[in-house]
Each structure stands twice: as C-alpha cells, then as structure tokens.
Structure 1
Amino acid sequence: MRAARSRPLGIVALLSSLLITGVAVPPGPALAAPAPAATAATAPPTLAPTPPMGFNNWNAFGCDVNETLIKETADVIVSAGLADVGYEYVNIDDCWSLRERGPDGRLVPDPVKFPSGISGVADYVHAKGLKLGIYGDAGTATCAGYPGSLGHEEIDAQTWADWGVDYLKYDNCNNQSDGSQADFVRRYTAMRNALDATGRPIVYSICEWGQSQPWTWAADVGDLWRTTGDISDNWASLRSIIAQNAPLAAYAGPGNWNDPDMLEIGNGGMTDTEYRTHLSMWAMMAAPLLIGTDLRTASPETLAILGNRDVIAIDQDRLGVQGAVVSDEAGLMVLDKPLANGDRAIALYNSTDTLATVSVPVRDTGLRRAGAYRLQDVWTGEVSQAKSTISAGVPAHGTVVYRVRPLADPTVVPPAVSVGATVGTLVPGTAGTGTLSTTVTNRGVGALRDLRVTARAPEGWTVTATSSDSRRSLATNASLPTTWTVTVPDGTAAGRYPITVTAGYDWGPRHRAASTTSQLVSVVVTAPGDGRRHLSTIVPVSSSNDEGPVETDQSNGGGSDNDGNLITIGGQVYNRGLGTTAPSEIVYYLGGRCASLVTDVGIDDEATSPVPATFTVYADDTAVASSGPVVSGAAPVTLTADLTGADWLRLVTTGNDPTTNAHTDWAAPTLACGGAGPDDPVLPAERTLFSFESGTEDFTIANPDSGGTMARTTTFHTDGGHGLTVATPVNGNWFGRALAEPLDLTGSTRLRYDVRAEEVGTVGEFAVQVGPDFAWCQGGRWTWTNPNSSRTVTREFSELSCPAGVTLDLTQIRAVWVFLNSGGQIHIDNIRAD
C-alpha cells in the first residue's frame, strides 16, 4: 500500500502531546479547535521532504506537448548534469489527452502526440533515473478544454497510477464551484483520497491559484499548493509573485510547500539579472523548482543559472524552512533562512528600477552574536567579512544572496564594501546635464586605506566629480559620498544605459589591493514622436500607485500584476487605458513637443467606492485639467489638457478619504504631439477584422458536433454598440469564419479580441488558417479569464505554431478562429490585428 502523506500536527494535537510527555505549556489565550483532519497512526515519510525539482512543458510550449519533447527533455536533464543537482520530475501539462474519454470512462492519451502512451513515456523517463508527472483538473474540463476529473477522481487516479505516474499537477479551471473554501477543500480532498487509494506514491500539487488561501488548509491535503495566479515571463509578474508568496513562510515545511509557480528562466522575457533573482528568491522561499524552458536549446547562461549548486542547496536544505521576511520597505526586501548546518542564507532583494544599497543589521537576523561574520556570495563565490551589518549594492531587479556564519579571524578575509549610486532621469544635450550621487561604505572589520572612486559611462558621455572621490582611510561603517555631473550627447536614443562605479582600496595589515564594483542603470528619455498615440503604448518615466503596479489597458484589480479587467466606467467598456488606485502618479517626458491629452476618467465599476476621487493632469507643475470629485457608478468624465510647451506630463489621482482607495481609470487617453491634428489616426494602427455591428458576420463553429451557439448582442462591446454572445460546450469549441478571399495582414504583429466571462470562466486562444490548403496554425498558450471578469486576449503571430512544412504567410490568411470553453455564456468583441 502507498505510504500515507505525512501531515503536521494541529495546534490542539500538538499541545496534547506536550502535556502527555510532561513538557510544560506556557499560559496563553484560548485556542480554537482546528477543523477535523485525517490522521495517521504513525508518522510515515513525506513524499516531498524538500521542494520538488524538475521540468514542466507549459511555460515554453503550452499545448504543444508530445512524446518526443518529453523524452528529449529527459535526455538533456541527465546529459546536462541537471539530474545531478536534483532535478528529477519531467512533468506533462495540459493537452496530452483526447477530448473524449474512452468507452471504459478512462482518459485516453492522444495517440498522435503520445504513440507509446503515457505508460511508455513513463518507462522511458524511469529508465533515465527520473520521474514522470501528469496534469489533471478539479473541474469538468481542463483549462484547454480536455476532460477534467471532477466526479472521475477514482478512475483517473488509478489510471495515472497504472501508467506509472509519480507527480500530479491538479488545476482549477471549469470547476463548477460556489467559490467557498469548503468547496475547494472538498474537490481537492476527493483527488487526494483517490491517489491514496491507488497505493502508488504520487506527489500531489494543488493548483488552485491561491484563490481559497490553500496555505491555511492544504497541508492536510497536498504536498504543495499554488499561492498565486500564473507566472509570466516578465519582470512585473515576477515581482508581483514574490510580493505575494514571501509573507507565507509560516505555512511551509518539509512535505508542505508554498508554490509560487514554475520557472521562466531562459524564455527570453527577462534579463539574466532578473532570472538570477527568480532562482534566488524561489530558493529563499523554499519553493518548488520546475524548469519551464526548452532545455534542448537552452544557452550556457541559462543552464548555469538553473544549475547553480549553491543556490539549489539553499532551496533543498533539509531543515525545510522558508526564508522569513526581515524587512520590506520601498521596494527593498531582506529574507533570512536558517540552514541545517547552522549557517543562515541572507537575501538582499531590490525590486526597484535602479541600483540600491540593501542592508540588514546582524541583530535583526537569526545569526548568533559574534565579532565578525563570513559572507559567501552564492552567485560569484566571493567571500568577505562584515562586522555588524550585512549590506550590498544590489542592481535594479537584482538579488544578492549570502551564506553567512560567524568568523573567528576577520583579518584574513577581505572586508565587505558596498557601492551605491543614484542618478536622475537624463535628457540628451548640455541642457539635460544630470547629477550622479555615489556612496561607498565599509562594512568590514578594519579600516580601508587609499580609497579611490571612479565612475565610467557609455562612450561619448562625460562624468565629472564635483566633490571628493578619494579618502586616505575609511573606518568600519563609515561612508564616502561623492557627487558627479553627467552629460549625455545629443542624438542619444531613449533607453537604459549602464554607469559603472568602482571603489578601489587596500585592506588588512598587508595592505592588499581590492575593489568593489556596482552597475547603475540610468534612464535616458526623449520626447514622443509625431502623431496621436494611445498613451498606454508610451513607457512612463516613473509611476507610483497605492496598490500594486499601474496596469496597462486594464483596471488595477489589486496588488498583483495583470489582475484587472477591461476598464469599465459607468457601464462603458474600454480596451485602452491606464488602471490605477488612488493615490497614484504617472510621469511622462514630453520635451515641449506635445499639444494635448484627451482622456476619459472615472472610478472603475469592478470596485465601487463610497467616496469620490479626483483626476488631475499637470503640464510641468501646472494643473491644466481636473475632473473635480468623481463618484463611483457615474458616467465617464472627459478631460482635455493643453500641454503646449510642457517638458513633463503628470497624471495624478487622489482620494477624498485616505482609508478608501478607489480604482481610478484613465480610459482611452490619447496624446497629440508634433503638430498632430484631431482627425489624425491614433497610433499604433489597429485593423478591426470583426466588430459584429451588422450581425454575427458569418461566424461559424469549427466542430459543430461538439456544440455551441452564437448571437449578436448589446450586452458587451468595446467597439461600436454590439458584440457577440457565445454559448460554449464544456470542452470548448472554435468560433470564427473562413474567408472568401485571402486576408493580407502584412505589417501586423499580433491578433487581439476582447472577452467577458459570465458565471463560469473561459480560456481564450487564436488560430488562423493559411494558404490554399487552409493549413491550421494555432497558439499553444491559453489565456484564462475568471468568472465575471473581462480581458483582452492577445497572441503574437510568432507564437502561432503551424504544421511541419507550412509557413505562416500573412498575405494568405484564409480563416480566423477564436477558442472558448466554459459550458456557459461568453461575450466577445472587436477581433483585430495590430
């Protein structure tokens, strides 16, 4: 029989055990009895004593999964040495089965994708010394519309066990839930019980996106549980997920892990600095490490990040403690994680957009008192010593992780020296000369001698010190500040440019030479080009927001990235705009080239506010347009702001009650620059393919036997006055239209459509047919829209996969299809290319 999953004792059981064994229990407040939970007669070994490590195909491949991919990935995990550092699971995600169960009610692997079946793939993976994972869903259908396991738990669990599956990722789409925590517990416990009954040890990964706070209940059900929505391969997503998962340290431990989702390292959407932060913070948070990139083509840099033994050792430490947040202020976070050998892992994390000095007094950590401490940087391997403060100059979006322990003789180890710097926004030309400020601090035992500071900028720039850049001696915990002028030559393009600051010095009784370097990323801004533009397509110089990031082309739903809906004010829906929460400020550089801004404003319908908010547009420091107090539920207010001659544009929202923060929307803001007229087209140009203003526009159903209906509606629309209401089957269908003549989309880079779900959520996807044979090219990554929510589904043409030998010829688009599945009503509108 399968060993039962080890589960932690509840509070009452723990206190009872202490009383029985004679251990004194200190007096305290009365404790509420926990909900009844399954118990074991003995304490059997857990299935996941350390966070699971392995691979999952979804982040890089979506639905494009097949036997060859899984087998070749297993090969690389072994040949590249990743198995040697702990990666062992090779997990298959959604889209592996047929869309219908077999006559015996069992799930059937797609014979085209998996000609050897899942059992054959499991045999191959096991022969490599690895383990195989599979995907299921606690709903009537998976997120991609394949059969779900709700009501089929026993037969599906046994099927997976019979195939030799070792790991189950159990998702939450099409869940038919009433939204209560009790329902989540019921659905996920049903599969837990079914897995237990098989007698096969299968690691159980609960993937309900943190919706029911699984960290409060799932330790008695699963081995790990998702704490957040899906990760994306961009910095905003990574930063948001860290912010959500880091505070949950108290809920993790051996056999029970907070899961902030799979790794994006290597997929190309972030820098190596950001990817190192990704692995560093996952290790500090004792998170599962599931690779999500194509290992067959992974670069040496990607493999080096994924294979860092020192970082992995922190994640896999047998003590099994998630690092605790010591401090979290102004975008700088410090985590402290005890390790089994007595060391502490200390992470200095900088989520801001510029170099920052991140510090923590040793007394605020769990380190025992000592005269000095040995710091080993787990990324560079460098060793230094600090007296009483652990500190580093941390690059924007970067993380420095030290393995720290007391040090008896600091004279033989170089001192820890931090180099920090700040610089304002830079404008090309002598009129835009900026100020650079640097600070060098000695954190080691013993003084630095002959300290010299240099600053190096890109070729053609000038950087000149205007205060002292050297000092003969710098004592422990003393600092040398220096100011510099920075001039950027005319013609420099807008962007981010490095400035390198180096402190050279001698240390110790032998006056050994050493240096410390930090790299600051400076921001150069230029004015927008000619024409009328959606302001949401222009990158701001800076932004601040009361809750989470400012959202682009959606409302600010909360503290996470990409958590809003389509902007909706007084029932009017917009697919362009900026979602904020008051108080907020967004700053743009105009360079005196822009004439006006026209925008609708209002409080979003998604989060009604009992108090009004005010929207103000500033040209430089002058208020040029204001809404006055705007109340929730009111129609949008249109503001027209004269920006003539202004260098800077600021969009500011303020709430009339500091305790109530309204979701304040800038809807369809349009900026006119360089002599643009009011009738000029708004850039970037969009081409509407289907707007449903004249009916259903001959939309049909790709698989009519699977079901579905369509009707023109006024219920939801973002273009004109009509949209399309679609009734979808539970397993979904494709809705669209074959074209009488080829459609030429040359110059377009992506397809988009707007969707709103009703009581049941839906996935969204694009496919096109191309050429005389109507070859089918489809995107493999499905966009999920929650019940009673709305969003824009976007797919780059580069993300669409065509059959072997078929080229996606944009001059020969013969059909356009969108995929929806919910078993309920879905509304769509404005299918377009841009």
Structure 2
Amino acid sequence: MAKFIIAFIITFNITACLAQNADYIRLDTARFITGDQPEWKNRVFNDHDWKIIKTGEVWQNQGFPDYHGYAWYRIHVRIPSSLKKQAVWGDSLRIYLAHVNDADETYLNGEIIGKTGAFPDDKGGYVSKWPAIRNYAVSANSSVIKWDEDNVIAVKVYDGGGTGGIFMGEPFLDMLEKTDGIAFEAKEIMFLPSGKVLRKLSLQNKFNTTIRGTIHYTINDAAGKKRLRDVNLPVALGPFESKELAIEFPHREGIELVYNYTEQSSGKGKSYTEIAPYILTPRAPLTPVINSAAVLGVKALHPILYRIPVSGSKPINFSIKQLPEGLSLDEKNGIISGSIQANGTYTLLIKASNSLGKYEKSLEIKVGDTLALTPPMGWNSWNCWGLSVSAEKVKSSADAMIQKGLADYGWNYINVDDGWQATGRAGDGEIKANEKFPDMGGLGDYLHQQGLKFGIYSSPGTKTCGGFLGSLGHEGQDAVTYNQWGVDYLKYDLCSYTDVIGNDTSLSVQQKPYMLMRNYLEKQPRDIIYSICQYGIHDVWKWGSSMNGNLWRTTEDITDTWESLYSIGFAQSNFYPYAHPGGWNDPDMLIVGKVGWGENLHASRLTPYEQYTHISLWCLLSAPLLIGCDMSNLDEFTLNLLKNNEVIAVDQDAAGKQAQKMIDKYNFQVWVKQMADGSHVIGIFNLGSSYAGYTLKLTDLGINETASIRDLWAQKNIGNHLRQLIFQIPPHGVRLIKVFAN
C-alpha cells in the first residue's frame, strides 16, 4: 500500500450512523457489473455500458435477485478544491461507503485506499467482514486525488451469500475534521435502589492529535416535555485518550440524554441523543414459578431431554406426578430424560419447591409426528460472533444461559451458526469440524448435561454463506453425523445452492434441497428441529411445513436498526394463516443486547422503546425467539426484556396463532392475538417519531365484553370491564395488554 494512503474504520458505539460534515458530496449512484476484471479499477476504463445502481441498497433489489460472487461498483465524482479550502483541519479526504457484504477492495483513481475482509482467491481464503463500516481516508495532499476533476472510486465486492453490495447507509465524501475523531461510548448502566439510574459514558479521541473542546449534556423528560438538567464541562483529550463521565438521572420511561461535544479551534460539534434504558418488568418473586409452555412435542422411542424452566431462589427441588414410563427426573436439577414408547398425550403434574414456597403446573407431552408445538427459544451465535464462533464461546454462552437465569424462563437451544466446519471432509466424506471445535460430540454432551439443546448450521450448497463446507452430495452422511453428535436443531441456509440451480428458480427446484434433507433427518433416531433458511423465496410460508420445516425464514437478514426492524417485523401481517403448532414464520433473530456479527461488538442501535417493540411484536407473531447477542455481557435492561414470563407466554401459547394487524392508520398499528384461554393480547404500536396519544376502543377489535385488562410488561392490572383505553406511547414504542373475556 502506498505510504500516503490511510485506511481506517471508526466505530461509534452509540451512534446510529456516521454523520457527514457540513460540506460533503453524496455518492448515491454507481455504475455496476458482476464478475471481476483487474482493469475495472482504473480511472480511464470505459464503463458507459454498465448498469446504473443505487449505492445504499442491496443489488438483489436492483435486478440481481439471485446473484452471489464478485461485482464492481464505479462511482464517478468531481471533487472540488473548495472542500479542502473550507475545511478547518484540512488533513484528510474521507470516503464513507456504509456497509459492504461481505468483503471489499476499494480504489481511488486506480490506487488502493483500503480493503476489508478477504476474497476466496486471497492467500488464506475468504473472510467475511460484512458488519464492518467501510470508512476510508486519503491524505489531502496526495496526488491520487484529482481536485476539481472527475475521480473514480472503484469498489471490488465479494458476496458469499444473502444480500450483496454497498447498502444500509448513505455513502458520501467529505473532509475529516477533528470532531470526527470524537466517539461517545455508553459504558455501564446501573439501576439504583433510590429510583435513579447511573450511566457511565466514555468520551474517546480516535485520532493521533490532541482535541480540546467542551462537552455539553442535557437530561430531558421527553414524555413530560421538560429539561431536567443542563451541564457544560471543558474536556481536553490527548492522542487516543478516553475520559469517563458519570451521569445520574431519574429511572422512568421517556428520559433522553443529549450529548454535544464542541471542538475549540473549529467550533464544529458532534452530538447524539440517547434514549435512556428503563425497566418495566418487576423483579421475579423468590418463591418458585414454573415458566414452561403448556405442551411439548416429541417422537416415540426418541431420546427426550427437557429442562423444567423454574425461576425463584435456589436450590429448588422437583417432583412429578404421573411421570410416563421410560422417563426419569433429576430432582435437584429439574431435568427430565429418557424416552416414551408409544404415541399419545401424557399429562404430567410438575411440582417445584424451595424454602420459601412451592408451585405446581401441568405439562402435556404429545408423542407423535410433530415437534416444536411452540416456537423454539434459545441463542444463536451469528449476530454476536459471526465466523469467529468457537467451542469455548458456545460453552460460555451456555453457561451464561444457566447462570443469568434465562434457562429458568424457557430459553434452551444453543445454536452454532456458520464457521464451525473444517476446510475439507474426511477420506470417507464425513464432515469434520475445524480447530475451533475439537470435539463436537463432546460439545453436545456438555450442553445436554445442563439440560440444554444443541443446534448446528449447514447449507444445501457446496459452501455456506461464510464460505465453509456445505452439505451438497453428503446430505445423508451429514444427517447421520449430526445424530451422532447429539444435534437437536439444524438451520439449513440456502447460500451457494443458488449457484447450483443457475437460472432455474422454479418452485420444485427451490424445494428439492429441503425435501432431500428432510428425508434424511426423518431417518435419524432423535428429534431434530428443522429450520429452513431461504429468505422467503417462492412464499416459503406456504410450503415450508410440507418440508417438515418447524420454522422458515420469511425475510432477508435483520440488522440492529429501526429501518430493518420495521421493514421485517411489520411486514409479517399476511403470513398469519401459515403459523401453527409445529411450523412457524421466522422473521429472524433478536437484535437486543450487544451484537456485532463477529467483531466490533456494540450495544444494539435500537432505542429502548424499539427494543420493547421488537420483543412484543415477535411474541405476538409467535416467532421463534433466538437471542443473538453476547451472552456473557447481558445488562439488567436486556435481561428485563428476556425474562418477563407473561410476555414470553404470549409467544409460547399452546394455540399457536399468529397475531393479525387489525388497525393501521395515523402512524399507529394495532395487532391482536387470540390465546388458547380465550383471552386476547393486543399490541398498540406508535410508528411515529414522537410521543403520541392513542385511544383504543375494544369494540373496534370485535371485543365487546371484558373481565379485566392487564399490562404485560408492567405485570399489573389496569382495569376491569373497560371498553376504551387511552395511552401515551413513546416514538417507535408499544403498549402490550392482555384482555380477559368474561
């Protein structure tokens, strides 16, 4: 790399996106072609016959629906010298490309200015860096920049599967200022007994130069429209230095923290508004509470492993009345194991007790052909660890699921996503794990000993999305191996199978690989949940069940932004007829907690309001609930989202119905889910950008008689025999209520 080129990535851990400086040039469109030729990087190359494409949107939406592999963008831009003259610092030209899926090599006028990830033909092979922001800079004095002339930014992209290209942001070009080196990072948050919250905030200088200025922060009550506090502090930061602030504020919904840093020499600033986290769910009682779903589906003669989910002070002792023959109970750990010989419905009365009290609940074990009678709940490695997943990280996540009490609320699958496979198969064709997973069977045993389930990932193609070995030509062999390892869940991801089928996108061709693996899974002497991941192509919700799919992805991958959550979650309304016990529409994994897709872990960019909406909507949808964050780094707010047993019960309801959208107007949507006990759960969503009032008339939903109404997040009754309710709902927020019939 030439010595005058700088390549860097700036991470703003609590900002939603990178902000342009006052003078900037948008890079909205590019010329685009699939394939790869080295001369395409050159400034003088003639690209007039290439397709014009938007840079902020995946190429799958722009005429290349099934393409994966190499592609090039060429962005033509005149760079005026006024940019440099008007800049206060005048040090570097910044080229911001937002996100690229999955690896890129970027050139300015034929000179490389940055590379993120690695291509399949690189030494060491393909390395996906999909979540990393592409944010490159070039010295303002470099001769590679053609001031007041046309320049070409050429971007070589490789997409290994899923969506491809430059997307999820607005690419631009500007001059760096010193404030671009300032980053806010939300550190620890503590909910104090005094009714206050303490936020620790780190102010960081990412540049190798001293930055002097003032931080100004305000504490606002957005719900009450009041300013509660206003503080100015002079702050000087040496090269790469960080300083920490402690900010205290009231613990309630609607508190917003506004941070501003003004750099002294330029007067330029950087600002961010943080919606303060708040906890709605009261602390769980110390007496035992059994939080299980009402039903469990298994197959005859197959091994059963079921950890009874019970919250309360430990130790807890367990007993069961009417335990079917063939099953046994670990009375200290509450783990049921064994097998049942014959089909039928077996009703168990489970009792849990500790020194403070006891609890009883019935569980129906339905032995037959149907698994996943309620949506699967657990954790998946992808949104956190990406391709850097390892056995140690998986074990750590399993330990955290137990230690942090999530298993006490029904979270029980530990799923290893892409990145576990070796580079080649054994001589007899058997799939092998790589050095990060020295003993897959042992890993399965480790999880099973704690009453947890073991999930794994593959593709029907030759390669997975991350470039690892797929199952093509070895489907039966892989199914046998999964059984030997004790696998309880298979996510089967389309990825490179699109290369196999070429231009044939007929339904039968789309179904074939899933049908093939279905047949081999059926032959295994254990229950394996089958997750069909092919992004909703050919309306998979209509035929996923016939593949013995227990869940099927209805969408592309989700990311931790409101735009992604909104476009995916609120687009599920037409799929409700296809959700049922044993088969679930899957809008992808949860994006709460610390996520990062392999590196640059950061707190979810969803506001707390949006995170309450996220969990509420997924539960109304009867969606699979798969945590995607760093399990070792769960804060109290995130645990509050994941450990509300009344909200989880909405998802795990035995009727298995998906909510329907009943009202959609004036920036509000109202979704209603009918429950097995005859009650209705209602989600009222404010899709607007500010607090707003909403009057809900239950008769508009066909609910004419009510006995009582309960706020599920606060776990408190809010009235009896009401016909109308008035709510103040935060921006992108929700009220989740349960209406009991007479």
TM-score scaled by length of structure 1: 0.43
Query: Which structure's CA Rg is the greater one?
Result: 1
Quick one: higher RCO (CA 8 Å, sep 6+), 1 or 2? 2
TM-score scaled by length of structure 2: 0.48
